[in-house]
Amino acid sequence: MKDVTENRNLEDKLQRVQKMEAMGLMAGGIAHDLNNILSGIVSYPELLLMDLPKDSPLRKPIKTIQESGMRAADVVEDLLTIARGVATGKEALDLNTLVTEYLRSAEHQKLERIHPLTVFKTELDAELLNVTGSASHVKKILMNLIANSSEAIEGKGTVTVSTINRYLDEPLKGYEDVRTGEYVLLSVS
């Protein structure tokens, strides 16, 4: 009698790899098609804005369309990243700038209209260190944290977004892989 467990495990692993390759090819094709569609949604508003007077009431909705198209393009980029099997590009980011940009966005203004009894405030460390990451992913995280916080409030309340530098002098319990050193802490409460 021969133990075929190892052969079965290898066959299963090969099938999973082949499925992932097929899904990656499909996701890449879908992402490519979506990028073609989104190019007009992102670029045409810019052309319209160039021809509109500064005080036109159409500027705001056109800008909202453009920003939504750009967010959709970021999602497509994530899909392409997964399809290619590579990590997202990382860059030095000023977290305070990303917080401020989000709080000025049309998406956040919509959140304020949905939750008129919620006050949004910031406590941002002026000496904040830069972080390394993907701006689009950090913006999505911010959006989700702030939206979840505001949805958790019943009646009147405040959502505070704060940033601060922290030095970690020993690993946190359960997070031994996190090394000691300087970190940036983002808090949404």
Q: How many domains does the chain have?
A: 2
- Note the pLDDT tens digit of each residue in 72-117: 888 887 777 766 665 456 789 999 999 999 999 888 998 999 999 9
Percent helix, strand, coil in the chain (nearest 5)? 60, 20, 25
Same domain, 112 and 182: yes
- The helix or strand, by DSSP H or E, that contains position 2, with its residue range, turns out to be none
Six-digit token string for 150: 């505001």
Six-digit token string for 159: 């959502």
Same domain, 61 and 139: no
pTM here?
0.58
Same domain, 55 and 125: no
φ, ψ dihedrals at 168, nearest 5°: -100, 110
**Domain extent at residue 162:** 91-188
**CATH code assigned at 36:** 1.10.287
**Which residue, of 28, 54, 84, is where some domain finishes?**
84
Six-digit token string for 109: 């203004």
Q: What is the rounded distance in angstroms from the CA atom of residue 186 to the CA atom of residue 163? A: 5
Q: What is the rounded distance in angstroms from the CA atom of residue 170 to the CA atom of residue 137? A: 27
Q: What is the rounded distance in angstroms from the CA atom of residue 16 to the CA atom of residue 146? A: 37
User: Positive or negative, the Cα torsion across 27, 30, 36, 41?
Assistant: negative
Q: What is the pLDDT along the chain (189 residues), one digit of tens a residue?
A: 566 777 888 888 888 877 777 777 777 778 778 878 888 888 888 889 888 999 999 999 998 998 888 888 888 877 777 666 654 567 899 999 999 999 998 889 989 999 999 999 999 999 999 999 888 788 888 998 999 999 999 999 999 999 999 998 887 777 777 888 899 999 999
